[in-house]
């Protein structure tokens, strides 16, 4: 294991190089600070996100008048949080030399009051009030170390922080 250059499917040398580069030249991290997406309407409740060279569809389930061809936006939030925590866990485990065999997260979000989204109520808000995150890991490390990796992952998760803190959203509408 000691002479291998790969752990958890990650190129260790490349990881070390990235860390060194960012440490010596903080400006090099600048591109990692900004992320962008473009979403265009496809008709009905369907939308398509264009992100760099990737696209994906967003829809609504049939009982919300959608065509159920894809997950909806609030589900993508759960997916994004789960993916973010997965990346973080694997990163933090790899940094400590822990080989991860399996990792899986089950998320569930409770909307505070969906009626406010439909304009049928003034009480509460239409966002998630609470998101439960159950992570399962199978790895060669003791429980304390795995807990430590998990705590660090949660603490440093970009999406986790986005959800847990107030984000200044700057909306603008343009006729075009």
Partner 1 sequence: MAELPLFPTTVVGSWPRPPWLLDALRKRQAGLLSYREFQEVADRAVLEALHYQEDAGIDIVSDGEQRRDNFYSFVTEKLDGVRLMTLAEMLDYAEDKTFLDQTLRQLDAPSYAIKNPTVVDRIRPRMPLAVDEALFLLKHTHKLVKVPLPGPYLLTRSMWVKGISDRIYPTQEDLARDVVALLRDEIVRLRDAGVFFVQLDEPVLTEVAFRPPVRVRTFMCASLAAATESPVRELAWATALINQVVGGIEGVKVGVHVCRGNWTTNEGVLLVGDYRSLLDFLTVMKVHQWVLELATPRAGELSAFAPYRRAKEVGMGVVNPRTAEIEAPERIVARVWEALDYFDASQVYLNPDCGFGTFAERPVNTPEVAFQKLQAMVEAARILRRRFGVAAPRDRVPAQGTISPEEVFPADAARLVREEGAVLVDVREPWERELVRIPGASAIPKSEVPARLGEIPTDRPVVVYCMVGERSAEVARWLRSQGRPRAFNLAGGLVAWMTARLPVEP
Binding site for partner 1 (CB under 8 A): 102, 104, 106, 108, 134, 136, 138
* Closest CB to partner 1 among residues 8, 116: 8
Q: How far is the CB of 61 from partner 1 (least distance, A)?
A: 11
What is the per-residue DSSP string for the chain? -TT-SEETTEEHHHHHHHHHHHHH-GGGGGGGG----EEEEEETTEEEEEETTEEEEE---GGGTS--SS--HHHHHHHHHHHHHHHHHHHHHHHTTPPEEEEEEEEEEEES-HHHHTTS--SS-SSEEEEEEEEEEEESS-HHHHHHHHHHHHHT-HHHHHHHS-----------
Q: How far is the CB of 121 from partner 1 (least distance, A)?
A: 28
* Closest CB to partner 1 among residues 20, 104: 104
Q: How far is the CB of 135 from partner 1 (least distance, A)?
A: 9
* Closest CB to partner 1 among residues 35, 136: 136
Q: How far is the CB of 55 from partner 1 (least distance, A)?
A: 22
* Closest CB to partner 1 among residues 11, 104: 104
């Amino acid at each position: 294991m000691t002479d291998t250059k790969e752990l958890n499917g990650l190129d260790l040398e490349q990881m070390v190089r990235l860390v060194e580069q960012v440490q010596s030249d903080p400006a090099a991290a600048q591109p990692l600070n900004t992320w962008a997406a473009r979403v265009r309407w496809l008709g009905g409740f369907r939308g398509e996100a264009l992100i760099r060279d990737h696209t994906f569809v967003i829809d609504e389930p049939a009982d919300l008048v959608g065509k159920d061809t894809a997950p909806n936006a609030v589900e993508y939030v759960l997916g994004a949080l789960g993916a973010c925590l997965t990346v973080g866990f694997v990163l933090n485990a790899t940094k400590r030399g822990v080989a991860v065999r399996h990792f899986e997260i089950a998320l569930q979000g409770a909307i505070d009051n969906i009626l406010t989204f439909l304009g049928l109520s003034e009480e509460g808000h239409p966002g998630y009030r609470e998101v439960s995150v159950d992570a399962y890991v199978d790895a060669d490390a003791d429980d304390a170390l795995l807990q430590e990796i998990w705590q660090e992952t949660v603490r440093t998760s970009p999406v986790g922080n986005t959800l847990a803190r107030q984000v200044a959203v700057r909306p603008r509408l343009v006729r075009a």
